[in-house]
Amino acid sequence: MDFLVPGLRHFLVLGSILFSLGMYGVLSRRNAIGILLSIELMLNGVNLLFVAFARYLTTQQELAGQMFAIFIITQAAAEAAVGLAIIIAIYRQRRTVQVDQLDLMKG
């Protein structure tokens, strides 16, 4: 039962799964906010990778992974703010936030 004991690869796999699920969400959700949510999911998957690496790896710079994760969270917040602002602006103009309806420009 040793393989059940969580090690580095467990976290990595979990992070990757979250990342791919997020990717699926990004590609399949129609609602722009839903896409934003999915992106957060992807970022969390990546964060998990960073933190897991920070714990398990041989390195001169301990905690670099955690620092990275912190900055990613920061960026996620900023991104969410700008993203939501754009979504709200779109909603004001078009009364929709479904991205597949936003195809004025193509070709």
Residues 44-103 interacting with other proteins (rule: CB under 8 A): 44-100, 102-103
Q: Which backbone phi and psi does 100 adopt, to 5 degrees?
A: -75, -5
Looking at residue 58, what DSSP letter applies?
-
**Cα-based torsion angle of the residue sequence 53, 23, 83, 100 in order, rounded to the nearest 10 degrees:** 170
Q: CB of residue 1 vs other proteins: minimum separation in angstroms?
A: 9
Quote the least distance from Cβ 3 to other proteins, whole Å. Answer: 10
How near is the Cβ of 72 to other proteins at its closest, in Å?
A: 6
Residues 7-36 that bind other proteins (CB under 8 A): 7-36
How many residues appear in the chain?
107
Number of residues counted as binding other proteins (CB under 8 A): 103
Q: Tokens 């754009």, residue?
A: 86
